[in-house]
Structure 1
Amino acid sequence: MKSKSLSGGGLVYSTETGRMCPGCRQPIAQCTCKSASAIPVGDGIVRVSRETKGRGGKAVTLVKGVALDPVALAALGKQLRSACGSGGTVKEGVIEVQGDHVERVMAALQAQGYRVKRAGG
């Protein structure tokens, strides 16, 4: 009779801390195994575009190509949203700012020293 290995099992949710990382067994917010490999590699150019697809005709300003870790990216997203006086989010390495704020976002990023290009039409 073969014994099952316990390496695939373990705690996946805790009522105190929420979801647990299967790799390092820490809460997702304090995960150490994914943070080292989560920094994206870009070409050094931040691309800012405006999009309305799938949003009921509402415009959203997208910021792509910022090579920062997720925590710093969220902080930059917060700065850009507050500079535009608008809401938004950070999803999969892309900062979304509600509304058509391409020029304002580009000016704010250039003031912080990023190389910025307008993408799209």
Structure 2
Amino acid sequence: ESETSIIVDASKYIKKLKQKVEKINNETTSEQYYPTDPMVTAETLEKGFMIKVMSGKNEAGILVCVLEAFETLGLEVVEARVSCTDSFSLHAIGSSDDDDGVSMDAETVRQAVAEAVRTWSNSHGSKG
């Protein structure tokens, strides 16, 4: 009897988890494909930053713009994952080689990348 109830409880729990995963996947999909302006986020890692840029449409040249912003900030791309089939998505880890005592926070990085993307979008006649 107790084995059966454990299995039933586990089955119900797994079903709930699957529903949560599906809900999260749906939210992520809508965030990736429907923003009108590119969305930029940055978070601090132990050594560097995780930067994410997502846009509802794939715009040629946006990757170069983001990488130029990294260079301006003195960030070296350690790892990057880019998708640009229908929409544009970049997840990159950038690390700062500067040991000159100048500290940079995630918000500074986010603002610089967002500004570069905004400037690029405006100069390329993007509607948003």
Is the pair's TM-score, using the shorter chain for normalization, greater than 0.5?
no
User: TM-score, normalization: structure 1?
Assistant: 0.41
Larger helix proportion, structure 1 or 2? 2
Indicate the structure (1 or 2) with the bigger Cα radius of gyration. 2
User: TM-score, normalization: structure 2?
Assistant: 0.40
Task: Identify which of structures 1 and 2 has the higher relative contact order when contacts are C-alpha pairs closer than 8 Å and 6+ apart.
Answer: 2
